[in-house]
Amino acid sequence: MGERDVDAATAVSALRLRYAGEGDSDAGDRREHDVDAAMAVNATSTFGVVVVGGGVVGVSVAYALAREGVEVVLLERGRLAGEASFGNAGTVSAGHPPLNKPGRVAQGVRQLSDPTSPLYVKPRWDPELWRWLTRFATYCTDAHVKSAMEVLAPMGMDSLRAFEDLVGREGIDCGYHADGYYAVCETGDGLADAVDEAELIRRFGYKPEVLDARAMGEVEPALAPVAGGVFYPEAATLCPYDFTVGLAEAAARHGAVLREGVEVTDVLVGGGAASGVRLSDGDEVGADAVVLATGPFSLAIADRLGAAIPVQPGKGYHRDIPISEAGASDLRIACVLHEASVFCTPMSDFVRFAGTMEFSGLNHEMRPDRLAQIARAAGRFFPALGSAPPISEWCGLRPVSVDGLPIVGPLPHVPNVVVATGHGMLGLTLGPVSGDIVADWVLRDGPVELYRRLGPDRFGG
């Protein structure tokens, strides 16, 4: 073991020793915070762990560490829950296979020429994207789906338990309903595809139920005539923004410091170990470990540490339509319109219609044709949908990994820097359990063997 490895291992061991025996038992001895009161930290501050990124994954990490007694600070360049955690579909959809599936490439090629499809790739010269897409295609095999499901299926079950525990224990008011959701299929081909996916996840312990056209109409009378559907009972819905902010407030109560409007530009490294982060204003914040939970942003930081993280920003959109005679029906169910990949989630006094996968780079440009794709699909499946203007139209960027699995684990060359990204459309679903996995890496010898497969070392380098 070289000097570089010794220094890094010493840093990790020191952090684990420092917080051995900490946790909920002494939580009452730490002062309580709310989010607004937890914003004070200066350039000379030193913490046990710096978490970079204030979306649901970063907040989940901060919460998990704070509950174990760690002095943790979360730094968010914008607002907490201001990116994908603000406006996603709000579904906790456990146990589904990765985006990489056999036939996905052919399907994608067909969809590129269809303006009504959920997929859009902006025509441009982008060698990095095309290399990523080529590599993505190599994972579209039956063998990879099986291997991925060996991780995603138990991870999904752990996530469902985590949500029940968090919402109940911390009293998070986020409209949480563990009522499952439906995949609604317009065509026979669509239903056959949904049934194939249901059969796949059934082999991994889930219990989807196939419904015919009549049963689907009885479940949701607002639907147009459809071919049928699949009910996924192991699922839940909630308001993602309210959940993330509620979890941040809980993290603060456990002692976490939360800062908004603070951009991290670099990780400070010496002797193969991180010692903190540098901010955009030149200030530095010291730490025994650093967690990068920045979604598709700031990946260059990991790159400078010798780890090229194969993630692309995949843009999603939503349209929130008020529940009214001139707007959306008061839906009985949450559902996904299978062929259009549009989620329909009832939320208090509106229905959120969310979907699309757009690869157009790191930007927040709202494309009217993408919003129109969502509106057309919603109108086709729900013919009574009125013309009331949306109360919100939004887009956000998801971090899509090249193999369809989250990337959670220490960087190979700097082991006290842990990355947590690449969740794609499962950031909300897998956020809390990812927080627990990061805590296992930071404070112990790592998670169970199965979750070690999520580490960035699987890509080499």
Beta strands (DSSP E) in 43-141 are 46-52, 72-76, 91-93, 119-121
- DSSP, residue by residue, 249-290: HHHHHTT-EEEES--EEEEEEETTEEEEEEETTS-EEEEEEE
- At 382 the pLDDT is 98
Task: Report H helices in 288-356.
Answer: 299-304
**Core vs surface per residue 369-398: b (16+ CB within 10 A) or e:** ebbebbbebbebbbeebeeeebeebbbbbb
- State how far the Cα of 219 lies from the Cα of 205, in Å rounded to an integer: 24
pLDDT at position 275, please? 97
Identify the bridge partners of residue 236 per DSSP, sorted by sequence position: 92
Q: Specify the pairing of strand 181-185 against strand 335-337.
A: parallel
CB 447 within 8 A of CB 440: yes
Who's near 454: CB < 8 A, 6+ residues apart? 151, 405, 406, 407, 408, 409, 437
pLDDT at position 461, please? 60
Q: What is the pLDDT along the chain (461 residues), one digit of tens a residue?
A: 444 444 555 555 556 656 665 555 433 333 333 444 444 444 446 789 999 999 999 999 999 999 999 999 999 999 999 999 999 999 999 999 999 988 888 888 787 767 778 999 988 899 999 999 999 999 999 999 999 999 999 999 999 999 999 999 999 999 999 999 999 999 999 999 999 999 999 999 999 999 999 999 999 999 999 999 999 999 999 999 999 999 999 999 999 999 999 999 999 999 999 999 999 999 999 999 999 999 999 889 999 999 999 999 999 999 999 999 999 999 999 999 999 999 999 999 999 999 999 999 999 999 999 999 999 999 999 999 999 999 999 999 999 999 999 999 999 999 999 999 999 999 999 999 999 999 999 999 999 999 999 999 999 86
Q: Which residues contact 260 (CB under 8 A, 6 or more apart)?
A: 39, 54, 76, 78, 79, 80
pTM of this structure: 0.92
| pLDDT (0 to 100) of residue 209 | 98
Q: Give the C-alpha separation, 278 to 144, whole Å.
A: 38
What is d(CA 346, CA 311) in angstroms, rounded to the nearest whole number? Answer: 31
DSSP per-residue letters across 353-401: EEEEEEE--S--PPPHHHHHHHHHHHHHH-TT---PPPSEEEEEEEEEE
- Provide CB contacts within 8 A for 90, sequence distance 6+: 237, 238, 239, 240, 343, 345, 347, 352, 354, 428
Distance of alpha carbon 456 from alpha carbon 461, whole angstroms: 9
Domains of the chain and any CATH numbers: 3-84+254-310+404-459 (3.50.50.60), 97-241+312-401 (3.30.9.10)
DSSP-assigned letters across all residues of 343-356: EEEEETTEEEEEEE
- Judge whether 240 and 87 are in contact, CB under 8 Å: yes
Name the token pair of 19. Answer: 């917080």
